[in-house]
Amino acid sequence: MEKYSVFVASPGDVKSERDSLDKVIDEVNLTHGAALDYELDLLTWEKNAYPAGGAPQTVINEIIDAYDIFVGIMWKRFGTPTPVAGSGTEEEYRIAYTSWEKNPEIGIMFYFSKQPFYPQTSDEIDQLAKVFKFKQELNTKSLTWEYEDPTDFEAKIRKHLCLRMNALIKKKKQNNIPMTSANNDDIEILKNLWPKMDPELQRAFSVAYNENRMAGDGGIKTKDLFATLMVQPGEELNKVFKQIPDTALPQPVQGTLVEEQYIIEERPWLSHCISSSLRRLGKLLPEGKQLSALDVFTDIAKHGTGESVALLRKHNIGPKEIEAIMKKENLKSLTVV
């Protein structure tokens, strides 16, 4: 069984979140880990540090100097300054980020609480301001997530650890084949079309991207987009899905979904089917009309060539069948009129 370590860094105001990690990691080990033959070990200064000479933060850094996943958590406090950083948590993050630059397989996952808090003193205001400033910095270079309260944190971190381990184990089995990289033209097309997309389509792209983003591979396969569209399809797209065998489509995305639109601020990669579809549809989209999830799904289903489209063809869902479904349901899209 492969062993992997998870190090958690945080100020003292998120004790509930820190405490929940023991339970979450035990659950992941018993379920997901047992199935994939791995085990996570939680590293914290409370459990792993011991009395020694020198500055406390230096001692912690020396003891906990190697891990596979770094988890940072912040709410309203930034923490106590150290000789080299604004707080121990910041220093631990910067060590993790330096390690990641040398070894991108290290996962960095930083969480910020959205739980309401109203500062009562100048010190609390100062602490909160430092948290906001730090969060702005991390949003430009690391995986950051927001959560509503300790219960929401527990749900998110449980799913994210499983996603991260899925990606890490898959990559090892593939002999470290590099993950897909972003294409500048695809990014430009996506971002130019984004304001013209309806909310359903924007949500699908955001969630699909976030699912892979958390696994350390920031992009969207056609399967990812289809699986997300199936979670809460709009009325029109749902009519189409009901006419297609369940086995011809991927399983809907499961668990807690993150809908923040990180995709617009970052550099996502897109599958060939998705990027080709956006190119086609961008040329066909009339002025003033929104691009819909129905437009994208039916276009890919008609013109795509990847694995997800091959699965549709395997179940005898081709261009003619898509057109027949649309006609039967009295629906129209940019490529099916």
In this structure, which amino acid lies at residue 90? E
Q: Which CATH class is domain 2-173?
A: alpha beta
- Is the pLDDT reported for residue 331 higher than 50? yes
Task: State the pairing for strand pair 219-220/69-74.
Answer: unpaired
State the pTM of this model: 0.69
pLDDT, tens digit (0-9, with 9 covering 90-100), for 235-279: 999 999 999 999 999 999 988 788 888 898 888 999 999 999 999
pLDDT, tens digit (0-9, with 9 covering 90-100), for 159-170: 999 988 988 887
Cα–Cα separations (whole angstroms), residue 84 to 78, 108, 137: 15, 21, 17
| 2-173 and 184-328: identical CATH topology | no
CATH number of 184-328: 1.10.1780.10
DSSP notation for 233-300: --HHHHHHHTTS-GGGSPPPP-S------GGGTS--EE-HHHHHHHHHHHHHPPTTPPB-HHHHHHHH
pLDDT, tens digit (0-9, with 9 covering 90-100), for 138-184: 987 777 899 999 999 999 999 999 988 988 887 777 654 445 668 89
Q: Where are the domains of the chain?
A: 2-173, 184-328
Which are the contacts of 120, defined by CB distance < 8 A and separation ≥ 6? none
Residue length, the chain? 337
Q: At CA 161, angle to CA 230 and CA 216, rounded to 5?
A: 75
